[in-house]
Amino acid sequence: MLSKKVEEALNAQINAEFWSAYLYLSISVHFESDGKPGFAKWFKAQFHEEQGHASKLIDYVITRGGKVTLAPIKEVPTSWDSPLQAFEDTLKHEQIVTGYINKLVALTREESDYATESFLKWYIDEQVEEESTATAIIDALKGINGNGLGIFFLDKELGGRK
């Protein structure tokens, strides 16, 4: 059984994951409209991944006898000046999500909820991957330095994401 504090925190995390999904869908739509289908596909995959993160949390809360309370999703940005800006925003956002997960783990320790702490290990590992991936793409974009041909080839590479 989840404590009320942990249940509320997990529900806040569910909302954060859906907000993340909505953000990545917005970035995907932006790049689709901007003629960068590879960037759009990469962010569409992120959109689906974040939905999966939320669904996994929902299933966990229900399995533990908790109540899922879906909250409204706040507005997300809709345009970016460059691919670099979009990925820098992505990294900043993922760092915020990492902070949320860390606070959630700290709460589970306070509440002696070892099952939820164990469950959250997957999210901790996932956040390391998310930040690392965004950083690698930022580094590539900085190396390209706005070069059109470089953007073209990176767009093709990102479009290969499954």
Write out pLDDT tens, residues 34-54. 999 999 999 999 999 999 999
Superfamily of domain 4-159 in CATH is: Ferritin, core subunit, four-helix bundle (1.20.1260.10)
- Residues 144 and 139: their CA atoms lie apart, in Å, by 9
Query: Pick from 48, 57, 51, 46: which is nearest to 104 by CA?
Result: 57
Count CB-CB contacts under 10 A for residue 110: 11
Residue extents of the structural domains in the chain:
4-159
Q: Please give the C-alpha separations between residue 162 and each of 42, 43, 46, 81, 138, in angstroms, as whole numbers.
A: 8, 11, 10, 26, 20
pTM of the predicted protein model: 0.94
pLDDT at 146: 86
The alpha helices in the chain, defined as continuous H runs, are 4-33, 37-63, 83-110, 114-144, 148-159
Write out pLDDT tens, residues 95-116. 999 999 999 999 999 999 999 9
